[in-house]
Amino acid sequence: MSIFPLRLIPATPNLDFMRLRWVSVAAFVLLTIVSIAAIAGKGFNYALDFTGGTVVELRFEQPADVDGVRDRLEAAGYPGAQVQTFGSGSDLLVRLQPRDGETTADANARTAEEVRAAASADGNAAAIMSSAFVGPQVGRELAWNGLYALLFVVVGFLIYIGFRFEWKFAIAAIVTTLNDVLIVAGWFALSGKEFDLTVLAGLLSVMGFSINDTIVVFDRVRENFRSMRAPPMEVLNASINQTLSRTIITSVVAFLTVMALYLYGGGSLEGMSLSMMIGIVIGTLSSILVACPMLTMGALEVTKQDLLPKARDDAELARRP
């Protein structure tokens, strides 16, 4: 990989990743344990998507400045309010927690009026189109739907990789992917950042990115074992080195794209872009340092039978080292 005259990665890297496999796997296991402890102990700072709150639809005379509205609401005593456009640029959807915690019709109307007054700016007044209180029951339903989506993706990955490769590859890929998701989720628990539906979408995106990187390496493992007369350890190491440039280029491009979304996408996309940026870094490292090394350990240790095509030929197996 090169940028102008600067070469960032040698054309044929020969790094011994397998030599550090126990250290890298142990480091990721430690991060996973810390993440699980943070999630179980501290928990997430759930946003209104999961806890419920007041939803106010506002219509302005002119297109409104979303960041400005959010700042004015925070100054009025509504920190963490979610503000986003919908419909035309003059319509805003505001979701926040009532300051007094009351959910009656009168309290909801009072909150909506305070939001309208705080959101209005000189020369650009806001009018209330509708307001309602969304209870936590809706949030629980969204949380369960997110869990079902996660399980559906995991089962789909297992079936796909199991058919395409071997069960050892499928287990290694799923464990690595879930490890990435847990670490990202653990960071949100430790940092106290709001956990909303956009973060959940980011976690699902992390799963897709991580599994894609891992499958690329596994594909090269399978190809190399058919052409290389070498022990599985050398095949795995060579496969990581051969896909290293592709992995880093893809990750850098994806990271820069999501970083642009983080910088210019506004507060409503901050959680998703932040989770994806962290996930891209973790997923890239895990596909290099964890996925293949797991195939050398314990019950997941691969043999030449595992790396050959499904239709195994005894004579060809006998010729392999």
Q: What is the CATH number for 183?
A: 1.20.1640.10
Token pair, residue 33, equals: 């344990």
Q: Which residues of the chain have pLDDT under 50?
A: 2-6, 310-314, 316-317, 321
Residue 1 lies inside a defined structural domain of this protein: no
pLDDT for 207: 86
Residue in 204, 206, 202 with CA at minimum distance from that of residue 270: 202
Exposure string (b/e) for 18-57, b if CB count within 10 Å is 16 or more? beebeebbeebeebbebbeebbeeeebbbbbbbbbbbbbb
Query: How far apart are alpha carbons 176 and 154 in whole angstroms?
Result: 11
pLDDT for 64: 82
Residue 278 lies inside a defined structural domain of this protein: yes
Residue 88 belongs to domain spanning: 53-134
Residue 4 lies inside a defined structural domain of this protein: no
**DSSP designation for 321:** -
pLDDT for 317: 44
Residues pairing with 45 in the sheet? 194
For residues 35 and 127, state if they share a domain.
no
Instruction: Decide which of 86, 115, 134 is a domain's last residue.
Output: 134
For residues 23 and 120, state if they share a domain.
no
Backbone torsions φ then ψ of 131, nearest 5 degrees: -150, 145
For residues 308 and 236, state if they share a domain.
yes
Residues with Cβ < 8 Å from 186, sequence gap 6 or more? Answer: 31, 32, 34, 35, 36, 38, 39
Check: CB of residue 219 under 8 Å from CB of residue 211: no
- Strands (DSSP E) along 167-268, which ranges? 194-195
Question: What's the number of domains the chain is made of?
Answer: 2
Largest CA distance in the chain: 84
Pairing assessment for the beta strands 126-134 and 53-60 based on DSSP bridges: antiparallel
Exposed, middle or buried: residue 147 (CB in 10 Å: 0-12, 13-18, 19+)?
Answer: exposed
For residues 210 and 296, state if they share a domain.
yes
Query: How far apart are alpha carbons 40 and 195 in whole angstroms?
Result: 15
pLDDT for 67: 83
Instruction: Decide which of 77, 111, 134 is a domain's last residue.
Output: 134
For residues 168 and 272, state if they share a domain.
yes
Residue 145 lies inside a defined structural domain of this protein: yes
Residue in 183, 184, 200, 189 with CA at minimum distance from that of residue 149: 200
CATH number assigned to the domain comprising residue 106: 3.30.70.3400
Residues pairing with 128 in the sheet? 58
Ramachandran assignment for 43, one of left (phi > 0), alpha (psi -120 to 50 degrees), beta (any other)? left
For residues 62 and 82, state if they share a domain.
yes
Instruction: Decide which of 134, 155, 186 is a domain's last residue.
Output: 134
Residue 215 lies inside a defined structural domain of this protein: yes
For residues 63 and 40, state if they share a domain.
no
